[in-house]
Structure 1
Amino acid sequence: MDISLFLQHLVNAISLGFVFGLVAVGYALVYGVVKLVNFAHGDVFMMAAYFMFYTSLIFGAPWLSAVILGIVLTSLLGVGIEKVAYKPLRKYPRINSLVSSIGMSFLLQNFAVVVFGGIQRSFPVPEPMKKTLVFGEIRVQAVSIYTIIFSIIVVLILTFILQKTKIGLAMRILSRDFDTARLMGINVNRTISFTFALGSALAAVSAVFWALRYPQIFPFMGQYPGSRAFIAAVVGGIGSLKGALIGGFVLGLLTVLIPAFFPEYSGYREAFIFLLLVLVLIFKPNGLFGQEVGEKV
């Protein structure tokens, strides 16, 4: 095996794994705190790409400013979804909120079709991201390197928020018991809103990396990364942030390395991914890093 070719594909796989992993962490955050699988998360990812696109196109904002504003708007969208679609159903069985999340997913997709149009649009890619970097015999896209670097920074910031801040402590307590959190004086509604804002911000960051990698945006663009991120979260252990990130890496490796080194099996790539999901659910129902219900997330 050509080691330079392997390293080249490995960098691409890790880059894609970070994209899947960050979206999966958004799933895990929400599930860990409110025990809800937010199936609209992939469509929040899609809306983030449109926010950034139109902010740059209509207002002529610099690329970085458009990205920052897009992340803020996506966070606000996540909070709005929680207030409208989930908060009124919190006292009812969880299946109600689950159905509501599916309905919200369809609503966002059709909203995007009506408002933004069904045609694909080209996402603006800065010149530095278009370059190909050469390290000896290894050639990798600059966007892959940027994705890895900034993803690591995002993971470090997320870790700091969860481990070193009051709102992070509140989220961890809430993930264990709502009643105990209330007795400790924690504002449950505010903490849940922050959780959705944080998860949506992660989806927005992932949308940036995805749109730079595949610079075409359209109303259904969130389905593929959203479904893969959900699989990553389940494989890693739904509710486990570490597991979601590692699950994203696993899917990134399978997605890139199978076609690269086993082209004769590339048509079965999706089958391998779902086979992995089935095997994990059979032998490790809580995921690779999942914990039993009632344990700390």
Structure 2
Amino acid sequence: MIGQQIFNGLTLGMAYALIAVGYSLVFGILRLVNFSHGSVYAFGAHAALLFVGMKLGIFPAILMSLIFTGVLGILIDKTALEPLRKKKSMPIASLITTIGISNIIQNMLTATFGSQKKAFPALFDFGVISVGKLQISWTQICMCIISLMLMLVLVLLVHKTKIGLAMRACEQNPKAASMMGINVNFIISFTFFLGGVSAAIAGALISGYYQIVYPNMGYMAGLKAFAAAVLGGIGSLPGALIGGLLVGVSESMAATFLGSTYRDCMAFIILIIVLIVRPNGLFGKKGITKV
């Protein structure tokens, strides 16, 4: 039973890691916690459901949701955050703005789709594989493979491409990057696009896993993903992966041995313990500020 729950937790943790990536990407460049990211995740799941209802087919529908959710990420930056950057407002203003945007998106989803829970089609429903006493569904296997591949693509994008080099330059020194000819605002918008795409993929995978969507599904998932990002070291993509896996496994084990009422609190209990021992997270680095 322990092995079964560990594998279930790893499957869920991979999806949490994809959401946590959005937090890490934005924080790495702007030093901003984007609290609208959970609602973006819910938007991606509902967009996929909407396109499924148009009889496009499940995978074309998910592809369309990736594009629309990525564009939503750009709109969040262009309409709300970039004007604040131009006015050189305090960081707390941007933080509060993302909280407001989260509520706006959630209320728009409720007004458009209703507050009821809706069925989402199953993904990769090819049956179950038995490995000893373990019962592993093809949905779980495909979720792990897809999440791992996408994490690898993001890491390669950030570390092996020109636009990834520009992202790292903006992270280290936006003014110097701008003086070297890098369009900093474009890089920031592209980062928001990547965050939206990763959130939409996670929304589709988790919705297909549980076969259900609802407007406020992003609230707790967003908090858990934020805990995963901080746990691994916010701003670190490998940290987001490890943090997501730890959150997923701890949640699954707590639901098994303590009861389902304790599953949501385990991520934050582990987060508090790790931050007491290692304040920068597992893979975080100490920031050095020169004055």
Partner SS for 2:135: strand
Distance change (3 Å), C-alpha of 1:245 and 1:259: same
RMSD: 1.6
Whole-angstrom CA distance in 2 between matches of 1:46 and 1:130: 26
Pair 1:125 & 2:139 matched: no
Aligned position for 2:233: 237
Match of 1:77 in 2: 72
Number of the residue aligned with 1:180 = 176
Residue deviations 1:131-151, cap 9 Å, x none? 222234321222111101111
Q: Which residue, 67, 81, 90 being the options, matches 1:86?
A: 81
TM-superposed CA distance for 1:282, in Å, is 2.4
Q: Distance in 1 between matches of 2:261 and 2:204?
A: 28
* Alignment match, 1:211: 207
Offset, 1:259: 2.8
Residue matched to 1:67: 62
1:136/1:200 CA distance change after superposition, 3 Å: same
Q: How many residues align?
A: 287
Classify 1:109/1:130 alpha carbon distance in 2 versus 1 (closer, same or farther; 3 Å). Answer: farther
CA contact (8 A) 1:129 1:212 kept: no
Amino acid at match of 1:110: N
Letter paired with 1:123: F
Partner of 1:41: 37
Letter paired with 1:70: S
- In the alignment, is residue 293 of structure 1 matched against residue 287 of structure 2? yes
Spell out structure 1 runs of 4+ moving beyond 6 A: none
Sequence identity percentage: 39
Distance in 2, matches of 1:259 and 1:222, equals 20
Paired AA for residue 109 in structure 1: Q
TM-score, normalization by structure 1: 0.92
Q: Which residue of the partner structure matches residue 111 of structure 2? A: 114
Distance (whole Å) between structure 2 residues aligned to residue 176 and residue 109 of structure 1: 33
Q: Is residue 1 of structure 2 the alignment partner of residue 10 of structure 1? A: no
| Kept after mapping to 1: 8 A contact 2:38/2:218 | yes
Question: How far off is 1:292 after superposition?
Answer: 1.6
CA 1:87/1:43 → structure 2, altered by over 3 Å: closer, same or farther?
Answer: same
Unaligned runs of 5+ in 1: none
**Distance in 2, Cα, partners of 1:199 & 1:171:** 13
Q: Deviations over 1:2-48 (max 9, x none)?
A: xxx33322221111110111111110000001111000000000000
**Is the Cα–Cα contact under 8 Å of residues 43 and 223 in structure 1 kept in the other structure?**
yes
Letter aligned with residue 183 of structure 1: M
Shift of 1:192: 0.5
**8 A Cα contact 2:84 2:94, kept in partner:** yes
